[in-house]
Structure 1
Amino acid sequence: MIKEALQFFSHHLKRNTSPHSTTLNKYLHCLSRSSCSDLSLKLLLYFISKGYTPHPFSVNSVISYLCNLGHLNSAQNLANSLFRLGFSLDIVTYTALIDGHLRNSDVANACLTMKEIVCNDNIVPDVVTFNVLFRRFSKDGMVKELLAYMSLMWKVCMPNDVTYCNLIDMYCKMGDLDMGLRVFKDMTKGGVLPKFLVFTSLIDAYCRVGDLEVAFNLYKDMHACSVLPNVVTYVALIDGFCKQGMLQRAEHLFRKMLKDGLLPNSVVYTLIIDGHFKRGNVDRALEYLSEMLARGIRLDIVTYGALIQGLCAGNKLESAVEVKEHMVKNRLAPDNIIFSTLMRAYFKAGNLKAALDEYKESLAQGFEPDIVTLTTLIDGLCKHGHLNEAKGHFSKSKANEVVYSALIDGMCKEGEFSQVQMLCKDMAEAGIVPDKYIYTSWIAGLCKQGDLVEAFRLKNKMIKEGIIPDLLTYSSLIFGLTNKGLMIEAKQVFNDMLEKGITPDYVVYDILVRGYTVQDDTVRISQLQDEMTKRGLIKETTDVDIRKL
């Protein structure tokens, strides 16, 4: 068709003849819709100069082409020139200009163009024009503007499914799901049948906030409205159920998806594999991996990451390393998340050298250490007694509360409390407030050093700042007091902990027992033994001496 159009124009240009207007318009429109839009524009201007009156299709095709290129001034000038020549612009022309302005993020001029339409008695905006505006308003969260133009829309035309989709999508992105659902119900009451995008937008939004029952009911409504869900719909639902640990329902949807004739992609398999790993179902996760490979679905970076993370969490570090090697053989480079996961696993396994090798490899691959990597590195080095090396990797500009917490915990274990105070000052200057974990590490370190006055001062300070001490905080204070032989005070702190509704564990009882053992207070030991038995922390027996536990 393009070749035919080019031959047509070549023939008339060579002979300087005027082609029939219908045929001319047909071929101009053909060129505009193809890769020859620039030529179409030149030909249109040439024939206009020869007195030719273009068809609206041709004009609108060229104006749309200019708008798509971002040449709004040229498109507007062409429209103005045609108007002066007596050519009547129609709603399609104005809609193209509005769309062009919005593509350039020029909402103000798009609205001015819409105002021109409204003020023009010869042109009435249609639902397409409004939907072009609504799509942008929805994307930018411009609620007032969308509702204002919606009021105008009702005066000239009825909203369609695309209109409602834009409105629902906006409310979903804003997190106002009640309004989104309300619009959905108004839509169905008004006789507008919701289509795939409306359902999927709502389902995805409800899955993200964890309201799976509403999401699943919408999924059932889809079938009732004869709207078939696709892979995107199933991904949203399966993701939601996996995150809630509801793997049976996720697998039920997976089977339903297959029954509907939809082929699962790598995203679907990765969600279920990751879900099983997080529930500790390593074998089941690997079964889905085998099924995924049998279907010829390639593993992507996200799937590899889920496998490595799941295997590391299941203490299968060797298998995780094999997965990384398989990944590299398939010419897929690990990302920072994978390197950090393996670093953490090596640190946990006590293999400091391998952990640092992973870090060095990530740097060699060109990755800049992010917060996760820095936290993993600093925490691992501190726990392996390499505090000075951990300090060397600390960066104020990159640090957040988690990085500070890891380094402070290491310093507290080494008794470097003056540096802890300096770090806390740096945190305050950066606008970061010390959290419960930082205070507890600090208190535990002070108690270990025997500085109980400072430990209790910090405990009072954290309470004053609205941070509630937890079991570990109280256990640290009780440990410090028992080490000093202050058993009356230790028991008072223990009772205070109980009054605060904190449930004691075996460790805190053991601290008290050891303290009373030093004082040979068998009565207190027996009382604690009875309490532990009632709480199910030790088996009920008369033959066991708790001092030997």
Structure 2
Amino acid sequence: MVLTISTTKKLKIKIYLIPCKLFTFQALLYSSDQNIQLAKTPEKPHLKNDRIETNPPPIADEMFKFSPKMGSFKVGDSTFYNLVANHASIGDFRAIGMVFDRMKREKRVFLEKVFILVFKAYGKSHLPEKAVELFERMVGDYNCRPSVRSFNSVLNVVIQEGLFYRALEFYSDVIGRKSMNIVPNVLSFNLIIKAMCKVGLVDRAVEAFREMPVRKCVPDVFTYCTLMDGLCKENRLDEAVSLLDEMQIEGCFPNSATFNVLINGLCKKGDLSRAAKLVENMFLKGCVPNEVTYNTLLHGLCLAGKLDKAISLLNRMVSNKCVPNDITFGTIINGLVKQRRAVDGAHLLVSMEERGHRANQYVYSSLISGLFKEGKSEEALRMWKEMTEKGCKPNTVLYSTLIDGLCRDGKVDEAKEIFSEMKAKGCIPNAFTYSSLMRGYFQTGNGQKALLMWKEMEEECCMQNEVCYSVLIHGLCGDGKLKEATLIWKQMLSKGYSPDVVTYSSMIHGFCNSGLVEQGLKLFNEMICKEPNSQPDVVTYNIIFSALCKQSSISHAIDLLNTMLDRGCDPDLVTCNIFLKCLQENVNPPQDGREFLDELVVRLCKRQRTTGASKIIKVMLQKFLPPKASTWEKVVKEVCKTRRIRAAIDKCWTDLFI
């Protein structure tokens, strides 16, 4: 039998049909890699002889039209499934709707697996609400009762879009409806626990976890991993580690991912000793550390400043036949840069490239920034040149890093040239780029050009942030333009930005330099009542101390010093110098300050702040103001306490292990 189908005016396709099997016909329907496009249902009009004609209907419709004439062949429900699968794969939801309409007209049975295909397609197209809507219509419009499989598919789509609260709402609504009769399974709990942890509702996640046995669901390794990760992010590490023992008691054996979650949490907290013990436990359980494990440990060591141990661990990683990747090298290079060892990082970069790894823009950005901060501008510029010669295309981050480095080096004109090149090559400057240029202009005494950069930033609709405002306020206060700085301060507050400690300190310094100490103190008191990132630091206190001492308000300054100690902020060399100068010049008779500093050391020792006390002792020795013998005794006893010795021993054991 021959079926002729017209696809265009000039093209006809002959399909030779034989009365054989159903899958032959279905294969023709499902085929999408031929010139016949079965999935294209939208009919696009075209002009012919000054009139609009529509394209002929899709071939699938033609086949349905001819199907009754094919002898004993009868179109089956699986044919519709194949059509929906094909349309879903390309996200053609209009065509899916047409297939569903045909199925309803022909009174076909709607199977759940068809809807699951569509749910997944909605997920790929980032249409979670459409998936929820279709789920709600399954019973009423298509007479298909959803099971937990459909429920999990929709729940996963919503969570993948990051709509965690919407997922919690959907879960509660569906499970709470008795008419749905959907009983959550392990996957349902895994998804909902993930959503709860993502929005910080860890206690509710724990409750859901404890509810699982009541629902006759046995938690799997993914359940434990998800909950452990949530607990670690809430800094509840002891509870997370205890889950490791619990899961093994319940017969659920941890895998490498389980250990990696806990090791990552411990490393971020700086508890490398426990992280090392977990690695040992990992070996005992037959789990071999992978790249993620080693990279996590390396990151923790770099955060703790233990670069030599990180290099040693890298060598062990290689000896254990675990190949370092770009993340491994990038982590160590970034750690070296933070320890002001950018040159060593550059050497490691060479070793990295010799092993066949190519550094990305962020590795180069870290190195170039580090070299500039260490005063090695020529090496930084040489690396920039080598990078471009190797074919690494600079992005916004790299350009901004170079501009910031040149501005720090006082080469603002060169930085402006790079800025122009950056814009010419299509890299859009961000807030960091503009902030760097403004800071550079202020530092070189070109405040007017800094204001022009601020204006350009507004014209380019570049989103301004707290850093931009901080740089501008600091620069204006430094130039003595307190009135302009106050206007910018008010503008910053009106836009909802929260000033940080640098911004507050700049404004307080501006008021104090203008003789408006009372206004500076008012702002200082306001600062104390703000959130943690706005709390005064030693620099802020020193600004106030200096202003009060210049006014001979030494008693007020000492009261603030007491407040400073009570709030856990230790004095530094500048603090000592301010009070020593005031005692020598503004007190009658003049004092050398020995007793003042000695008492300060004693008070720090009573608060068990040995580091701060040691710094004051160092200042006293430099000023030839030796402390009393009793003060020496207090400091030595505090340093040599048993618990400190034990901590040092534990540290040694950790170092030996890692």
Aligned-partner Cα distance in 1 for 2:330–2:442? 24
Within-5 A mapping of 1:507-518: 507-518=539-550
Instruction: Give the counterpart letter for 2:358 in structure 1.
Output: G
Residue 84 of structure 1 corresponds to 69
Task: Say if 1:525 and 1:151 are closer, same or farther in 2 by CA, change over 3 A.
Answer: closer
Contact 1:409 1:438 in 2 (8 A): no
Question: How far 1:377 sits from its partner (Å)?
Answer: 4.3
Instruction: Give the counterpart letter for 1:210 in structure 2.
Output: G
Q: Secondary structure at the match of 1:350?
A: coil
Which residue of 38, 62, 84 corresponds with 1:73? 38
**Alpha-carbon deviations, 1:422-463, whole Å to 9, x = none?**
654554455323322233234445555666566545434534
Within-5 A mapping of 1:301-380: 301-328=291-318, 330=321, 332-335=323-326, 337-358=327-348, 365-370=357-362, 374=365, 376-377=366-367, 379-380=369-370
Contact 2:437 2:453 in 1 (8 A): no
Residue 285 of structure 1 corresponds to 275
Within-5 A mapping of 1:416-427: 417=447, 420-421=450-451, 423-424=453-454, 427=457
Contact 1:161 1:194 in 2 (8 A): yes
Question: How far 1:378 sits from its partner (Å)?
Answer: 5.6
Q: Secondary structure at the match of 2:212?
A: helix
Aligned-partner Cα distance in 2 for 1:416–1:517? 32
Which residue of 426, 449, 471 corresponds with 1:441? 471
**Alpha-carbon deviations, 1:368-388, whole Å to 9, x = none?**
304x863x3464345334578
Task: Say if 1:207 and 1:519 are closer, same or farther in 2 by CA, change over 3 A.
Answer: closer
Instruction: Give the counterpart letter for 1:166 in structure 2.
Output: S
Contact 2:30 2:86 in 1 (8 A): no
Task: Say if 1:126 and 1:69 are closer, same or farther in 2 by CA, change over 3 A.
Answer: farther
Task: Say if 1:450 and 1:385 are closer, same or farther in 2 by CA, change over 3 A.
Answer: farther
Worse-superposed segment, 508-517 or 91-100: 508-517
Q: Secondary structure at the match of 1:494?
A: helix
Contact 2:548 2:554 in 1 (8 A): yes
Task: Say if 1:255 and 1:346 are closer, same or farther in 2 by CA, change over 3 A.
Answer: same
* 1:97 and 2:88 aligned: no
Residue 224 of structure 1 corresponds to 214
Within-5 A mapping of 1:374-393: 374=365, 376-377=366-367, 379-385=369-375, 389=381, 390-391=402-403
Contact 2:343 2:371 in 1 (8 A): no
Question: How far 1:109 sits from its partner (Å)?
Answer: 1.5
Aligned-partner Cα distance in 1 for 2:433–2:487? 24
Q: What runs of 5+ residues in structure 1 fail to find an aligned partner?
A: 1-44
CA RMSD of aligned residues (A): 4.0
Question: How far 1:287 sits from its partner (Å)?
Answer: 1.2
So what's the TM-score if we normalise by structure 2?
Answer: 0.64
**Alpha-carbon deviations, 1:487-539, whole Å to 9, x = none?**
x4133222133246345444323222233434544344344345546656579
Question: How far 1:214 sits from its partner (Å)?
Answer: 2.5
**Alpha-carbon deviations, 1:384-411, whole Å to 9, x = none?**
3457853368755165434555665566
Residue 170 of structure 1 corresponds to 157
Task: Say if 1:208 and 1:283 are closer, same or farther in 2 by CA, change over 3 A.
Answer: same
Residue 125 of structure 1 corresponds to 110
Percent identity between matched residues is 24
Where is the helix percentage greater, Structure 1 or Structure 2?
1
Residue 544 of structure 1 corresponds to 596
Q: Secondary structure at the match of 1:170?
A: helix
Contact 1:443 1:459 in 2 (8 A): yes
Instruction: Give the counterpart letter for 1:498 in structure 2.
Output: N
Worse-superposed segment, 291-300 or 206-215: 291-300
* 1:107 and 2:99 aligned: no
Instruction: Give the counterpart letter for 1:235 in structure 2.
Output: C
Within-5 A mapping of 1:213-252: 213-252=203-242
Question: How far 1:108 sits from its partner (Å)?
Answer: 1.9
Task: Say if 1:168 and 1:345 are closer, same or farther in 2 by CA, change over 3 A.
Answer: closer
Task: Say if 1:333 and 1:220 are closer, same or farther in 2 by CA, change over 3 A.
Answer: same
Contact 1:471 1:504 in 2 (8 A): yes
Task: Say if 1:291 and 1:459 are closer, same or farther in 2 by CA, change over 3 A.
Answer: same
Contact 2:29 2:38 in 1 (8 A): no
Q: Secondary structure at the match of 1:73?
A: coil
Residue 42 of structure 1 corresponds to none
Aligned-partner Cα distance in 2 for 1:352–1:495? 43
Instruction: Give the counterpart letter for 2:461 in structure 1.
Output: G
Task: Say if 1:461 and 1:210 are closer, same or farther in 2 by CA, change over 3 A.
Answer: closer
Instruction: Give the counterpart letter for 2:543 in structure 1.
Output: I
Contact 2:91 2:122 in 1 (8 A): no
Task: Say if 1:448 and 1:378 are closer, same or farther in 2 by CA, change over 3 A.
Answer: farther
Instruction: Give the counterpart letter for 2:492 in structure 1.
Output: M
Worse-superposed segment, 112-121 or 382-391: 382-391
Contact 1:387 1:410 in 2 (8 A): no
Which residue of 201, 204, 207 corresponds with 2:194? 204
Q: Secondary structure at the match of 2:213?
A: helix
Residue 522 of structure 1 corresponds to 554
Residue 161 of structure 1 corresponds to 148
Contact 1:517 1:547 in 2 (8 A): no
Within-5 A mapping of 1:37-76: 49=18, 52=19, 54=21, 56=22, 58=23, 62=27, 66=31, 73=38, 76=60
Task: Say if 1:331 and 1:543 are closer, same or farther in 2 by CA, change over 3 A.
Answer: closer
Contact 2:508 2:543 in 1 (8 A): yes
* 1:474 and 2:439 aligned: no
Residue 25 of structure 1 corresponds to none
Residue 9 of structure 1 corresponds to none
**Alpha-carbon deviations, 1:99-125, whole Å to 9, x = none?**
12212322222221111110114x232
Question: How far 1:238 sits from its partner (Å)?
Answer: 1.4
Task: Say if 1:156 and 1:533 are closer, same or farther in 2 by CA, change over 3 A.
Answer: closer
Question: How far 1:301 sits from its partner (Å)?
Answer: 3.4
Instruction: Give the counterpart letter for 1:88 in structure 2.
Output: K
Aligned-partner Cα distance in 1 for 2:136–2:558? 76
Aligned-partner Cα distance in 2 for 1:69–1:180? 41
Which residue of 521, 541, 546 corresponds with 1:494? 521
Task: Say if 1:358 and 1:221 are closer, same or farther in 2 by CA, change over 3 A.
Answer: same
Worse-superposed segment, 62-71 or 403-412: 62-71
Aligned-partner Cα distance in 2 for 1:492–1:544? 29
So what's the TM-score if we normalise by structure 1?
Answer: 0.75
Aligned-partner Cα distance in 2 for 1:287–1:64? 59
